[in-house]
Amino acid sequence: MKPLPDRIRPEKFEDVFGQEHILGEGKILHRILKSKMIPNMIFYGPPGTGKTTVANIIASKTNKKLYKLNATTASLSDVKEVIESLNTLMARDGVLLYLDEIQNFNKKQQQSLLQFMENGSITLIASTTENPYFYVYNAILSRSIIFEFKPLKNEDIVKAMKRALEIVQSEFENTVINIEEEALEYSANVSGGDIRKALNSLEIAIFSTPKDEDGNINVDINIMKECTQKNIFKYDKNGDNHYDILSAFQKSIRGSDPDAASLYLAMLIKGGDLKSICRRLLVIAAEDIGLAYPQAISIVKACTDAALEIGFPEARIPLSEATILLATAPKSNSAIKAIDAALSELDTTNLGELPVYLRDGHYEGAKALGRMQNYKYPYAYKNNYVKQQYLPDKVKDKKYYIYGENKLEQASKNYWDRIKGTNNE
């Protein structure tokens, strides 16, 4: 007997749960199927979200010869076999190649398809759990439409489980299968948006539960918990998910949300990526807190050093301290804006020479070249300040640093406004 996910696999878009953003009435994939002009496509998303199901539905609506390859096990010779079939009567209308896990094909293997994609003799539908922009050859990307499949919502998974239950019920004679709604909701909640995982748990629960005295099967939440794997947090240190979580982590701290920051920190900790956490916290301390609380980076450095020294699981404690400190600290991005503005100036402006009185004069002959002549030493003046041009002539009036709207930087601004406004040369 086939596994339950395969027995209930939909044969039309209307029976597919989730992915309404691309499969719903009037949406792009729905329109493509109606047009019967099938382009090259790449389906991108986590496991159990319907990529293979949708590919099968599309394939069934064409007159093309269907081939299925899994790039994990397929070789270049398998691709050549598909190409050779183009000259046969079986493929007189062309070939539709469904290539699963395309990220496992190297550049040469992917390139072998280009010529035939170009002339339309092969229509490619590829699927991948990895970001195609990182793993798929650019020439393939430029000839394909990319569709992102998203994790299913809990309510969609519950609907799919109820549909599966109807099918399983039809396979039993004189047996009623009763499953608590709470059990279905629990399974959906811990499936991580993977419908296949939820259906496998449902099947195990049904077939492993002994019948009661009336010959019926009753599955409650406790039985479902026994048959359901613990929710496994999906994390890939080298994948798209890694950078998405780091991005959400920094944006939550920047947005002063300690709760969201703590959740994303927990995800990073679950992934065991200590170095990335420490590096990102130090970047945040300088980029997002900056001069509003300049001591923060020293505290964060102490916390990250401690975390690296003690390792997991205890490292979570100083990491949490640093995260909450940064999330609740005043914010300023004036430091990064200043250096980025200065760097941009270098890319667009020929600055010419530096002011001659600022240039090094600590060598024989420097005086004859005018080096350090007429330089005003600030400590020789009141308040250790004297008005003097430090920028090159071409950008002498530019402002790269703009004081942030926070207590510390505004106090600094007020101080220098007073000193520079009253200073006499």
Tens-digit pLDDT profile for residues 177-196: 999 999 999 998 888 888 88
Q: What 3-state DSSP class applies to 350?
A: coil
First to last CA, the chain: 94
CATH number at residue 196: 1.10.8.60
Domain boundary among 107, 126, 148: 148
Judge if 312 and 247 occupy the same domain. Answer: yes
Task: Please report whether residue 36 resides in a domain.
Answer: yes
Domain boundary among 197, 227, 257: 227
The values of phi and psi at residue 400, to 5°, are -100, -35
pLDDT of the residue at 26: 86
Give dist(CA 320, CA 264) in Å, integer.
Answer: 11
For the stretch 110-129, pLDDT in tens is: 888 888 888 878 889 999 98
Judge if 280 and 376 occupy the same domain. Answer: no
User: What value does the CA radius of gyration of the chain take, rounded to a whole number of Å?
Assistant: 32
Q: Tell me what the mean pLDDT of segment 40-49 comes to.
A: 90
Helix axes 154-171, 181-189, angle to 10 degrees: 130
Cβ density class 266-300: b for 16+ within 10 Å, e for less: bbbbebebbebbbebbbebbbbbbbbbbeebbebb
Task: Please report whether residue 85 resides in a domain.
Answer: yes
Task: Please report whether residue 11 resides in a domain.
Answer: no
Going by pLDDT thresholds of 50, 70 and 90, the confidence category of residue 424 is: very low
pLDDT at 91 over 80: no
For the stretch 375-401, pLDDT in tens is: 889 999 999 999 999 999 999 999 999
Q: Taking Cα atoms as reference points, which of 42, 56, 269, 223 lies closest to residue 137?
A: 42
pLDDT of the residue at 232: 54
Judge if 23 and 111 occupy the same domain. Answer: yes
Q: Which residues span the domain enclosing 137?
A: 19-148
Any idea which residue has 């920190």 for tokens? 265
Give dist(CA 164, CA 7) in Å, integer.
Answer: 8
Any idea which residue has 């092969």 for tokens? 122
Judge if 125 and 183 occupy the same domain. Answer: no
Give dist(CA 68, CA 73) in Å, integer.
Answer: 12
Task: Please report whether residue 8 resides in a domain.
Answer: no
Domain count, the chain: 4
Judge if 205 and 84 occupy the same domain. Answer: no
Two structure tokens written together for 197: 């995982």
Judge if 33 and 141 occupy the same domain. Answer: yes
Task: Please report whether residue 343 resides in a domain.
Answer: no
For residue 74, give every residue at least 6 positions away whose Cβ sits within 8 Å of its Cβ, in sequence order, or none. Answer: 99, 105
For the stretch 310-320, pLDDT in tens is: 999 999 999 99
CA angle 301, 306, 307 (to 5 degrees): 100
Going by pLDDT thresholds of 50, 70 and 90, the confidence category of residue 412 is: very high
Domain boundary among 179, 203, 227: 227
Task: Please report whether residue 178 resides in a domain.
Answer: yes
CATH number at residue 382: 1.10.3710
Judge if 28 and 117 occupy the same domain. Answer: yes
Two structure tokens written together for 277: 């956490």
